[in-house]
Structure 1
Amino acid sequence: MLKLAKKNIRQLSKDELEQYFVEMGEKKFRAKQVYEWLWTRQARSFEDMTNLSKELRTKLSEQFTLPALGEDVTQFSHDGTVKSRFRTVDGHFVEGVLIPTDERKTACVSSQIGCSLSCKFCATGYMERKRNLEFDEIFDEVVLLNEQSEKAYGRKLTNIVFMGMGEPLLNYKNVLKAIEMISSPEGLGMSPRRITVSTAGVAKMIRQLGDDKVRFKLALSLHAANDAKRHEIMPINDTNNIKSLIEALNYFYKQTGNEITFEYILFKDFNDSLQDADELVKIYRQVPADLVNIIEYNPIDLAAFEKPDEDKTMQFMQYLEKHRVNVRLRRSRGKDIDAACGQLANKEVEPDVET
């Protein structure tokens, strides 16, 4: 007789848990206890659920799985950044980063194992996409990074950015469900306004975010201000050109009023001229964007791009400021441990010893 695979208990809603306990002859309040263990107290196993009888914990373990994400390797940068490689129960790896500043403790989380978009400047883009992360795995990333923040800095996470491995909008349901649990009072209770989802630009799904009236912020990884250049470094531009993205962003803003940011990595002699800056100004004026983040390029082994010198970067920034663009230069963090923007690639590394 074929043995059916056990179901992940975190895939059950509170109502489904109640139904399960009633059907097994248990009191309905057991569902509330288990739900709290899963989301509020973030149990890593059924054995952690100490206010349940041993018999009940055994029954649960026989009928369900609790596939919690585990820490595999952790590295510490000289600037305080912490990069962790997490292991899934089916043996895959995914990376997340804790980025501390005096004002903020930010978690940079991944949404996919690998990526299918093949952006030419991004280490993850050279990896094969293995699968989407489940919503509870994304939740676990945040829980583990939050624990690191409390341990290292005595403070909980203040912000979350979906800027790690993968394209969040190609794992739409899981990302939204994870954010729902992260922001729920029954989960981590973080305000959606402190969460930013970054996309390489999937116009259809940006519109869907608007229809779903999401409450988090949105960032578009633009990186080139005309279709020819953007096509060269971001193949997704073939099916999601700049015009379609401008229209989608305006629709998103009309539906939600949420903050929109443009992300723009400067590449030497590619997108760093004053003409490029002028084209960026024109795009900025067509969207109710709050900010343009100019990002330092972080070299990777598989790409020949370089970052421009400081003078060229400042000229680019000054041109934007002169034309009333709200612009900020985002300095790289964690470069020495390949934790900076575009560097996440699950490299084989030895664990660091925190000092």
Structure 2
Amino acid sequence: MENLKKDIRALSKQELNEFFVSQGDKSFRGSQVYNWLWNKATYNFEDMTNLSKETRQMLEDNFVINHIEVDEMQRSKDGTIKNAVKLHDGFTVESVLIPTLSRTTACVSSQVGCSLDCKFCATAKLKRMRNLNADEIFDQVVAIDKESRLYNGIPLSNIVFMGMGEPLMNYKNVLKSVEKITSPDGLGMSPKRITLSTSGVPKMIKKLADDDVKFHLAVSLHSAIDEIRTQIMPFNAKFPLADLKDSLLYWYEKTGKSVTYEYIVWKGINDTQEDISALVKFCQLIPCKVNIIEYNPIDDGQFQQGSDDAVAKHVNALEANHITVTLRHSRGKDIDAACGQLANKINA
């Protein structure tokens, strides 16, 4: 039965070479297949045209390629595209293509649902059903690259791990997907064009530093006061700001790389002078920049965008302390494709 066959993309290049030797063939056949799978992103053995028909049939008899399918694609009036991505076992995640004049960015998911419980995020309302495999993350990038070429006439330029799920709670598969995306044997993208966004898992931030990753790190901060951050991001009780600070110091000492903080200003929650002072102090820990993000409502009304005046006070205080700050305006809100809105509403 097909579902008992092994997914061929779970094999390394060496394991593919060894498989072909075990079949009485030359080991380089494994490298040829690996190239079809990861460099050409081929999902069909029949398309591997430099292999004999007999070899292709042998692969068909022994393996499957459990690739994703774009089940539904929505286009925003601002050009943003949201994909409902169907996985081989019937689960669905969402990924987003964000085009601007200077770049096209893929926002990819790393989990079905999420391990964490941020109150302002629609994905957090779904329980974590499973981690995505590396190939499922890779496939999201391939699909968005094709869409970017089709609709914008240019290839994908950047990738952000800011879709559904907490990437550091799926560490092994996320890093394996980055390896496939950046390797010359894979898509060959520069790791400098990739940003991993985490809600802040101190132990795993330190592991990123130890593993000498070359991509950028962003932290979804939203408050530099423990009591407030725990109210809006309850997991902060387990991973408090002191531990987060310690891990970020470690990150900077090991890598020499700055960090981006993502921050939403909410009315009546984190919009006071005390909040601003705490944020400025936190940002003075290591070199950083701050993205102040527009809030995207998720229906329950508990959170409301802070006033223009409150946002301006944050920006002015950061700039006065020589901290780079950018105001980010959301894209794709009309199709629920903006930050914090990904929740598979089509399957609800």
What TM-score do the two structures reach when normalised by structure 1?
0.95
Cα distance in 1 for partners of 2:2, 2:102 equals 52
Mapping of residues 268-307 of structure 1, within 5 Å: 268-289=267-288, 291-307=289-305
What is the aligned partner in structure 1 of residue 243 from structure 2? Answer: 244
Q: Are residue 212 (structure 1) and residue 211 (structure 2) matched?
A: yes
SS at match of 1:110: coil
Aligned residues: 347
Structure 1 unaligned regions, length at least 5: 350-355
Deviations 1:170-218 (A, max 9, x none): 0000000000110001111111111100001100000001111111110
What is the aligned partner in structure 2 of residue 267 from structure 1? Answer: 266
SS at match of 2:346: coil
Q: Check the 8 A contact 1:81/1:97 in 2, yes or no.
A: yes
Q: In structure 2, do the counterparts of structure 1 residues 228 and 186 end up closer, same or farther at CA, with 3 Å as the change threshold?
A: same
Q: Are residue 227 (structure 1) and residue 254 (structure 2) matched?
A: no
Q: In structure 2, do the counterparts of structure 1 residues 117 and 4 end up closer, same or farther at CA, with 3 Å as the change threshold?
A: closer
Cα distance in 2 for partners of 1:195, 1:94 equals 20
SS at match of 1:85: strand
The structure 1 segments of at least 4 consecutive aligned residues displaced by more than 3 Å after TM superposition are: none
Structure 2 letter corresponding to 1:306: Q
Q: Check the 8 A contact 1:120/1:233 in 2, yes or no.
A: yes
SS at match of 1:276: helix
Q: Check the 8 A contact 2:80/2:99 in 1, yes or no.
A: yes
Q: In structure 2, do the counterparts of structure 1 residues 218 and 35 end up closer, same or farther at CA, with 3 Å as the change threshold?
A: same
What is the aligned partner in structure 1 of residue 311 from structure 2? Answer: 313
SS at match of 1:196: strand
Cα distance in 2 for partners of 1:301, 1:57 equals 50
What is the aligned partner in structure 1 of residue 144 from structure 2? Answer: 145
Structure 1 letter corresponding to 2:50: N
Q: Are residue 117 (structure 1) and residue 116 (structure 2) matched?
A: yes
CA displacement at 1:4 relative to structure 2: 9.1
Q: In structure 2, do the counterparts of structure 1 residues 262 and 4 end up closer, same or farther at CA, with 3 Å as the change threshold?
A: closer
Cα distance in 1 for partners of 2:48, 2:299 equals 46
Structure 2 letter corresponding to 1:109: V
CA displacement at 1:238 relative to structure 2: 1.0
Q: Check the 8 A contact 2:219/2:261 in 1, yes or no.
A: yes
CA displacement at 1:3 relative to structure 2: 10
Q: Check the 8 A contact 1:274/1:319 in 2, yes or no.
A: no
What is the aligned partner in structure 2 of residue 324 from structure 1? Answer: 322
Q: In structure 2, do the counterparts of structure 1 residues 117 and 303 end up closer, same or farther at CA, with 3 Å as the change threshold?
A: farther
Mapping of residues 80-99 of structure 1, within 5 Å: 80-99=79-98
Q: Check the 8 A contact 2:265/2:310 in 1, yes or no.
A: no
SS at match of 1:129: coil
What is the aligned partner in structure 1 of residue 5 from structure 2? Answer: 6
What is the aligned partner in structure 2 of residue 17 from structure 1? Answer: 16
Structure 2 letter corresponding to 1:27: K
Structure 2 letter corresponding to 1:191: S
Q: Check the 8 A contact 1:106/1:159 in 2, yes or no.
A: yes
Deviations 1:240-296 (A, max 9, x none): 11111011011011111223111111111111222211110000011222x011011
Cα distance in 1 for partners of 2:294, 2:272 equals 15
What is the aligned partner in structure 1 of residue 59 from structure 2? Answer: 60
Q: Are residue 38 (structure 1) and residue 37 (structure 2) matched?
A: yes
Q: Check the 8 A contact 1:250/1:288 in 2, yes or no.
A: no
CA RMSD of aligned residues (A): 1.5
Cα distance in 2 for partners of 1:224, 1:245 equals 12
Cα distance in 1 for partners of 2:300, 2:134 equals 31
SS at match of 1:348: helix
CA displacement at 1:303 relative to structure 2: 4.9
Q: In structure 2, do the counterparts of structure 1 residues 299 and 3 end up closer, same or farther at CA, with 3 Å as the change threshold?
A: closer
Deviations 1:63-111 (A, max 9, x none): 1110011100000011111110100010000000001111111100000
Q: Check the 8 A contact 1:211/1:255 in 2, yes or no.
A: yes
What TM-score do the two structures reach when normalised by structure 2?
0.97
Q: In structure 2, do the counterparts of structure 1 residues 255 and 201 end up closer, same or farther at CA, with 3 Å as the change threshold?
A: same
SS at match of 1:198: strand
SS at match of 1:261: strand
SS at match of 1:174: helix
Structure 2 letter corresponding to 1:135: A
Cα distance in 1 for partners of 2:86, 2:197 equals 23
Structure 1 letter corresponding to 2:133: E
Cα distance in 1 for partners of 2:115, 2:301 equals 17
Q: Check the 8 A contact 1:121/1:303 in 2, yes or no.
A: no
Which range moved further: 66-75 or 308-317? 308-317
Q: In structure 2, do the counterparts of structure 1 residues 3 and 285 end up closer, same or farther at CA, with 3 Å as the change threshold?
A: closer
Q: Are residue 133 (structure 1) and residue 147 (structure 2) matched?
A: no
Cα distance in 1 for partners of 2:100, 2:77 equals 13
CA displacement at 1:116 relative to structure 2: 1.9
CA displacement at 1:113 relative to structure 2: 0.4
What is the aligned partner in structure 2 of residue 47 from structure 1? Answer: 46
What is the aligned partner in structure 2 of residue 334 from structure 1? Answer: 332
Which range moved further: 24-33 or 3-12? 3-12
Cα distance in 2 for partners of 1:319, 1:210 equals 30
Structure 2 unaligned regions, length at least 5: none
SS at match of 2:73: strand
CA displacement at 1:323 relative to structure 2: 2.2
Q: Check the 8 A contact 2:2/2:64 in 1, yes or no.
A: no
